[in-house]
C-alpha cells in the first residue's frame, strides 16, 4: 500500500515538473521572439550549418578593411597562403583560400574588377 502511494506521488510530481518545464520553455521562446534573439540565433545556426563564410569573416582572416583594394587583397592572400604552405597548417591555408574566394565574389558583385 505504501509503495503504491509513493509511486503515485512520484508520477504526480514528475508530471508537475514536466508541465512546469514545458511552460517555462514556451515562455522563454516568447521572450526570445519579443527581443529578436530567436531570429538572430536561427540565422546564426543556418549560417553555421551551411558553412558559408561571410565577407566580414573573410576580411578578419586576411586582416583587411572594407576599403582595401583588390590588388592589396591578392598581396595579403599570396603572403598568408605561402606562409602557411611552407611551415603552417593545411587548415589555415584552406581558410585563407576560402576567404579570398569569398572576397572575390563580393568584389565581383560590387562591380569592382577582379583579375584572375
Segments of the chain scoring below 70 in pLDDT: 37-38, 42, 44-51, 112-116
pLDDT score of 27:
85
Rounded to 10°, the helix 37-50/2-35 angle is: 90
User: Quick one: which of 48, 107, 39, 40 has its CA closest to 74?
Assistant: 107
pLDDT score of 77:
93
Percent of the chain with pLDDT over 90: 19
What span, in angstroms and rounded, lies between the C-alpha atoms of 97 and 77? 7
Neighbours of 61 (CB within 10 A): 21
Query: pTM for the full model?
Result: 0.54
- Quick check: 94 and 79 in contact, CB under 8 A? no
Amino acid at each position: 500500500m505504501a509503495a503504491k502511494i509513493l509511486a503515485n506521488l512520484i508520477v504526480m510530481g514528475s508530471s508537475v515538473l514536466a508541465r512546469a518545464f514545458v511552460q517555462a520553455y514556451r515562455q522563454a521562446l516568447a521572450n526570445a521572439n519579443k527581443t529578436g534573439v530567436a531570429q538572430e540565433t536561427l540565422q546564426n545556426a543556418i549560417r553555421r550549418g551551411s558553412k558559408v563564410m561571410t565577407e566580414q569573416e573573410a576580411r578578419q582572416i586576411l586582416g583587411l578593411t572594407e576599403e582595401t583594394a583588390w590588388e592589396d587583397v591578392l598581396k595579403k592572400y599570396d603572403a598568408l597562403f605561402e606562409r602557411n604552405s611552407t611551415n603552417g597548417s593545411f587548415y589555415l591555408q584552406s581558410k585563407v583560400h576560402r576567404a579570398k574566394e569569398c572576397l572575390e565574389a563580393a568584389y565581383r558583385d560590387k562591380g569592382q574588377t577582379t583579375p584572375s
